[in-house]
Amino acid sequence: MSGKPVATPFQPVAPGTNRWLLLGVVLQLGAQLAIVWWNRFLPMQDYPQHLFMSTVATTYDDASLGWARDYELRGAFGPYRALFLVQNALASMVGVEAAGKLLVSLY
């Protein structure tokens, strides 16, 4: 060891010294979120199916919809189980479509 300080790839930056980078990050994040929230349905292959499954799960007890006649809810673990649990919890507060967009935004 020669006693010289070792350079690390990420040096702390004093606040306010790189405002253009912060502005770029904020604008990029805003553009990406605008794509998610601008359209009613996202162009994703299984997104409508996820919304439908969440709708069935959150309105299963509504007799006027008759979901119990055609579908059964299963509590078993499987693909997307954690996603559906979070989406159903959010859907009961903000609606199914907003819950789906919130999850995509958080991803």
pLDDT digits (tens, 9 = 90+) for 8-57: 666 666 666 677 888 888 999 999 999 989 988 888 888 888 899 889 88
pTM (2 d.p.): 0.68
- For the stretch 72-99, pLDDT in tens is 888 767 788 888 889 989 998 999 999 9
3-state secondary structure the chain: CCCCCCCCCCCCCCCCCCHHHHHHHHHHHHHHHHHHHHCCCCCCCCHHHHHHHHHHHHCCCCCCCCHHHHCCCCCCCCCCHHHHHHHHHHHHHHCHHHHHHHHHHHC
83 closest CA partner among 32, 49, 43: 49
